[in-house]
Amino acid sequence: MNYFRTAILLAGLTGLFMGVGYLIGGASGAMIALAVAAATNIFAYWNSDRMVLSMYGAHEVDAGTAPDLHRLVADLAARAGLPMPRVFLMDNPQPNAFATGRNPENAAVAVTTGLVQSLRREELAGVIAHELAHIKHHDTLLMTITATIAGAISMLAQFGMFFGGNRDNNGPGILGSLAMMILAPLAAMLVQMAISRTREYAADEMGARICGQPMWLASALAKIDSAAHQVPNMEAERAPATAHMFIINPLSGRGMDNLFATHPSTENRIAALQKLTGQSGFAPTASDGRSSSAWGEQSPPRRGPWG
C-alpha cells in the first residue's frame, strides 16, 4: 500500500508539472518544461549526494578514524544485504541522520556528532538501520526526484507570470497566472511532503527488521525528537528544502502530523513500531527497550563519538 500511495503521489506531481507547462505554453510549453526537468533530474542524479553532504560540512570516516561507527554500519549493511555505504560524520550537536546517493552501490549514511554522543549503541543501530532501509528502498533517489520536480514547478509557475494575459490570449491571464504562481508550488510542496511521510513509515518498518528490534528505533526516535526541539540545526534552518532527508525533522518549528509536515508525528511512528514488537522475527525486550543480541551487551550512554 505504501508503494502504491507513493506511485500515485509521484504521478500526481508529474501531472501537476506538465499541467503548469501546458498552461504557460500549450503542448509545446509542456514539452519544453519536461525537457528542462529531465536535464535538472540528470544533474541531480549524479551530483545531489555530493551537494547535500558538502552543504552540511560532512566529512567521510573509515575503520581507522571511527572504528566503532564504521563497524556498526558494516554489520547492519551486511544484514540488509546491501553494499557497504560510505560513512560521513557531521559536526552538529543536534542528534540526527540522513542517507543519500543515487543507488545502493553509490550510497552514503551521514550522522551527526550529537547522535553518536547521545544514543546507546542499540539505539544508534536502529537509526542506521532506518537509513539503510531508505537506501534499500531507493528512497534517496525518489526524494531527490520529487524535490527536483517540485522545485521546477515553482520555477515554472513564477516564469508563467511573464506570459499572463499575452496578446494572443493563449496564456492563463493575469489572475490565472497569479493563482498558478501561488497554488502550483503549494500543491507540489504538499505532494512532496506526503511522499516523504509515506516513505518514513516504510523505512521504520524495514529498519526494525534489519536491526531485529523495533524498540531500539522507537527509543532513538523519542530521544531525537525531544532534542530537535531544543538543539538548533543551523545548516538545516538555512536550507529547509533538505529537511525531509533527516530521520526527524531538524527544523525548530516542526508541526504535528498534518499536510505541512515533512515527517509523520513521532508518536505515530513509535506506535507503529510498538505494534511490530512481539511479531515473529523480533527478540523480546526489557521495559527500557534494551535487549541482548548480536550488537552486544546493554550499553550505557555514550560519552564520545566512537563509544
Which residue numbers are catalytic? 131
Please list, in sequence order, all residues whose beta carbon lies within 8 angstroms of the beta carbon of residue 280, skipping any fewer than 6 positions away.
Answer: none
Region of residue 173 (phi > 0: left; psi between -120 and 50: alpha; otherwise: beta): left
* Strands of 97-101's sheet in order across: 59-61, 86-90, 107-112, 97-101
90: which strand partners? 112
The phi, psi pair for 34, rounded to 5°, reads -65, -40
CA 35 to chain centre: 26
What DSSP line would sit under 186-226, residue for residue? Answer: HHHHHHHHHHHHHHHHHHHHHHHHHHT-HHHHHHHHHHHHH
Quick one: how many helices (H) and strands (E) in the chain? 9, 4
The phi, psi pair for 171, rounded to 5°, reads -80, 175
Contact 165, 177 (CB under 8 A): yes
The distance in angstroms from the start CA to the end CA of the chain is: 39
Dihedral, 52, 114, 143, 204 alpha carbons, nearest 10: 160
Q: Which helix (H) or strand (E) holds 99?
A: strand 97-101
Contact 190, 259 (CB under 8 A): yes
